[in-house]
């Protein structure tokens, strides 16, 4: 098979798969996942049932696939923020703010029924491991520079930070998310003075690279 043809076919399949998962998730948010049928998904995605079954066997597998893709996108964003060439304090703040924002939007756009359906399986353990690693690494680096408290180890503080930031899903607006993030950072012992220091250091790094 010619390479361009193969790429075209793969691109078409990705487009159809994306249309299916997006349509199913939208319907699940509107009507709940328990009442959703494959016929409804096929109609919303603009394809026939026979085509739908070539991609997915049931509604649950569609919703799990959609959720897995979004989770992977979020994890990559957090991992990219961890790896930026900035002081650890600035990166810790950026990751905390981003994760709080993710939790906020997740709380507004997915029901308890959907969350219970997709938050299971072996993939969940890998997600937890990677997410925990992001926070643990940054907290350990910040602790090495005396930017956060040292009476608890990085592993314990990472658990605290993640769980506390997940409360952003209950906030009414982004202002509430920002206040919550500030409280969580305070709990880590990361003070405004530390933040100012990190911002100044980040500015010096930026100037040196230009």
| Residue that terminates a domain, selected from 57, 89, 105 | 57
| Residue that terminates a domain, selected from 39, 57, 75 | 57
Shared-domain flag, residues 153 and 186: yes
Predicted confidence pLDDT, tens digits, the chain (210 residues): 445 445 577 888 889 999 999 999 899 888 888 889 999 999 999 999 999 999 999 998 999 888 888 888 999 999 999 999 899 999 999 999 999 999 998 877 665 556 666 566 666 778 889 999 999 999 999 999 999 999 999 999 999 999 999 999 999 999 999 999 999 999 999 976 655 555 555 455 444 444
- CA atoms in the 13 A half-sphere facing the CB of 91: 22
39 vs 17: CA distance, rounded Å: 15
Q: Which domain holds residue 96?
A: 59-208
Look at residues 136, 134, 139 and name the one whose alpha carbon lies nearest to residue 149: 139
82 vs 80: CA distance, rounded Å: 5
- CA atoms in the 13 A half-sphere facing the CB of 74: 21
| Residue that terminates a domain, selected from 35, 57, 79 | 57
pLDDT value, residue 194: 54
CATH number, residue 195: 1.10.357.10
19 vs 57: CA distance, rounded Å: 16
Q: What is the pTM of this model?
A: 0.76
How many distinct structural domains can be found in the chain?
Answer: 2
62 vs 55: CA distance, rounded Å: 9
Shared-domain flag, residues 27 and 105: no
């Amino acid at each position: 098979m010619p390479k361009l043809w193969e790429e075209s076919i793969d691109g078409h399949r990705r487009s159809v798969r994306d249309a299916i998962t997006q349509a199913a998730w939208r319907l699940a948010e509107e009507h709940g996942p328990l009442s959703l049928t494959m016929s409804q998904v096929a109609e919303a995605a603009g394809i026939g049932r026979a085509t739908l079954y070539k991609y997915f066997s049931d509604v649950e597998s569609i919703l799990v696939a959609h959720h897995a893709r979004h989770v992977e996108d979020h994890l990559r964003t957090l991992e990219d923020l961890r790896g930026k060439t900035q002081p650890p304090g600035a990166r810790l703040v950026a990751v905390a703010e981003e994760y709080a924002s993710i939790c906020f939007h997740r709380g507004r756009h997915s029901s308890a029924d959907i969350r219970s359906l997709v938050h299971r399986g072996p993939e969940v353990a890998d997600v937890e491991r990677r997410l925990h690693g992001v926070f643990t690494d940054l907290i350990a680096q910040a602790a090495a520079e005396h930017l956060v408290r040292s009476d608890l180890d990085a592993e314990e503080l990472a658990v605290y930070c993640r769980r506390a930031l997940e409360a952003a899903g209950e906030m009414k607006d982004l202002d509430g998310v920002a206040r919550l993030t500030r409280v969580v950072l305070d709990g880590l012992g990361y003070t405004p003075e530390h933040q100012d220091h990190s911002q100044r250091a980040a500015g010096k790094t930026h100037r040196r690279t230009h």
